[in-house]
């Protein structure tokens, strides 16, 4: 099996996407270390889309036609995924999309390795309302994921008594946030929900927020995209105390996570970990297991096999597998920034994915994690 890896290795998204590639390549190394696929090594080819959405479709074409890959593990932003899908179909391949996202999509040639919003946002918003406050201000980047997630938060807020007092969307790469900080000062929210994407925007917003006199004690930020990769570019006094939701954090205490982190350091010299990186890692391992069972590497055969396998080494803390709609199961954690990483302060049981979630709170609290005593519900 030859896997195509499509990521931004240069440009504005390079810091994040290089780290996602690290997760995928660590898994390739582990697969080959353990004997490969039916005794043959897994190989790969990498394409850099240079943080340009227009380049992602060309990347699919190149990997499929010039590199003869069997499947693609790649993408980060929802804009890149949407741009890749026509090329995935035209080349009759499969895309393993690694990260949590806004849902609202179902594609027979895409396997969604991250969580849909109902799996992480429901319990997070309930936790925000009960812990941080009910007057929220939403700041996000101006593209699909932040806008769709913002709309879902607005719809869901009524259930928790949450009032959205402001929405602000900035172009990708924006570094000037004076206007939004002035609006936040006028609206007086109790918490800022941050859906900004990209190191430049995220670092600039947190830094300017701090310089404006706000701290986690006076006005906490509850983020959905600010990972440890972003925290690495901020002084601790800028980020400490603010919050983030994730299906994975590096400080999860388990043997599986400890083994994963050791692999990343030993194989890729990467010490920073996050959910999208774990998604790519799980994707590669699932592909290896599926290739062992599939009668061929034809994408139709491989797609059927992917629905039959389970990867038990998932660092998130429960077995990784796909449901019939190509979505996957995940736990939810809340982290608090501390010293350039996140300490886990809350955990919730996994929910079944609802791709076409309308932002309403689902009935019940999901299904019980296979782990003994895993999590709680609010």
How far apart are alpha carbons 94 and 114 in whole angstroms?
A: 16
Q: DSSP H helical segments within 13-137, as ranges?
A: 14-33, 56-61, 78-90, 117-131
For residue 357, the model assigns a pLDDT of 74
Each residue of 230-253: pLDDT tens digit?
Answer: 999 999 999 999 999 999 999 999
For residue 363, the model assigns a pLDDT of 52
Q: Are strands 341-348 and 332-338 parallel, antiparallel or unpaired?
A: antiparallel
Each residue of 57-69: pLDDT tens digit?
Answer: 999 999 999 999 9
How far apart are alpha carbons 144 and 338 in whole angstroms?
A: 30
Residue 109 sits at φ, ψ, to 5 deg, of -105, 10
Residue 365 sits at φ, ψ, to 5 deg, of -125, 35
Each residue of 67-84: pLDDT tens digit?
Answer: 999 999 999 999 999 999
Q: Is 183 a residue whose pLDDT tops 70?
A: yes
Global pTM exceeds 0.95:
no
Distances (CA, A) of 40 to 1, 52, 288: 8, 34, 11
For residue 370, the model assigns a pLDDT of 35
- Least Cα distance to 342 among 275, 281, 278, 277 occurs for 275
């Amino acid at each position: 099996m030859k896997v195509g890896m499509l990521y931004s290795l240069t440009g504005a998204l390079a810091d994040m996407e290089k780290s996602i590639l690290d997760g995928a390549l660590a898994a390739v190394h582990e697969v080959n270390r353990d004997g490969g696929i039916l005794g043959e090594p897994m190989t790969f080819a990498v394409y850099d889309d240079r943080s340009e959405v227009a380049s992602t479709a060309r990347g699919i074409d190149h990997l499929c036609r010039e590199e003869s890959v069997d499947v693609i593990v790649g993408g980060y932003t929802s804009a890149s995924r949407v741009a890749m899908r026509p090329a995935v179909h035209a080349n009759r391949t499969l895309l393993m999309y690694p990260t949590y996202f806004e849902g609202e999509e179902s594609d027979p040639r895409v396997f969604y390795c991250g969580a849909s919003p109902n799996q992480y946002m429901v319990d997070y918003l309930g936790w925000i309302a009960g812990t941080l406050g009910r007057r929220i201000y939403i700041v996000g980047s101006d593209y699909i994921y932040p806008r769709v997630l913002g709309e879902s938060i607005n719809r869901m807020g009524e259930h928790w008594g949450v009032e959205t007092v402001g929405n602000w969307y900035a172009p990708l790469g924006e570094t000037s946030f004076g206007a939004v900080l002035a609006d936040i000062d006028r609206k007086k929210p109790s918490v800022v929900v941050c859906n900004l994407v990209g190191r430049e925007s995220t670092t600039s917003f947190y830094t300017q927020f701090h310089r404006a006199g706000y701290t986690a004690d006076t006005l906490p930020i509850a983020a959905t995209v600010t990972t440890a990769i972003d925290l690495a570019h901020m002084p601790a006094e800028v980020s400490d105390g603010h919050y983030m939701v994730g299906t994975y954090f590096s400080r999860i205490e388990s043997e599986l996570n400890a083994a994963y982190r050791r692999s990343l350091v030993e194989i890729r010299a990467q010490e920073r970990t996050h959910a999208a990186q774990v998604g790519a890692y799980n994707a590669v391992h699932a592909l290896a297991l599926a290739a062992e069972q599939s009668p061929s590497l034809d994408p139709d055969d491989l797609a059927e096999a992917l629905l039959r396998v389970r990867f038990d080494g998932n660092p998130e803390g429960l077995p990784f597998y796909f449901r019939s709609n190509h979505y996957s199961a995940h736990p939810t954690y809340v982290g608090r920034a501390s010293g350039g990483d996140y300490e886990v302060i809350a955990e919730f049981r996994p929910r079944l994915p609802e791709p076409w979630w309308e932002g309403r709170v689902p009935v019940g609290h999901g299904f019980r994690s296979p782990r003994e005593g895993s999590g709680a519900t609010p």
